[in-house]
Amino acid sequence: MPEERTYKITCDECGYSEEVSSAQLTYEEGKTCPRCLKGKMYWVPPTEEARRRRFQEIYGQGGRTMPEERISPAIIIPIGLLLGGVVAVVGIAALARAAAPPGCLKLYPDKYYYFIYTGPSQTFKAALGECYPVIYTIDVYDSETDDWWPPADPDHDILETGSKCRVMVQGICTLCGFELIT
């Protein structure tokens, strides 16, 4: 009759071990640990058991956690100051970009704005600048008919200095060279 082998099963939570015969191994493996009642009992090959014990000797606490390493304040303080400086520069740049330059107005969608054009006489496209792609409508006031008229060809028609305009945009943009009529 062949000799019956024994296997060591170990708790994955507390490290408790016991030896069981090969016939009991499938029955005992995966059961709750009888000592801590939290972990599960699993078969551990002998080399893995030796590695686990060595790890436990070196690091302690059941081999579950690595020792705490501290970072020197000499490293943390300059890194913190550097990150703070980067955040400040990015914040200031975002505020500068969000604010309209002097003589310019920030336009928001779904509202008519009434202006007098104060820039040099030029095409509608050039006068509207960055707002041109998001213009929903632009109309020029005609005092003879007492009505607002859109330009026939904004790429080539000229917007003259002193013209009264009505503008509605589809997206937020900054418009320069116009004076708001209140």
**Domain boundaries in the chain?**
6-63, 104-180
Q: What is the pLDDT of residues 75-108, one digit of tens each?
A: 888 888 888 888 888 877 666 555 545 668 888 8
What's the one-letter identity of residue 38? K
- Return d(Cα 104, Cα 167) in angstroms, integer: 14
Residue ranges of alpha helices (H) inside the chain are 22-28, 46-59, 73-98, 124-128
Entry pTM: 0.42
Q: What Rg do the C-alpha atoms of the chain give, in angstroms?
A: 39
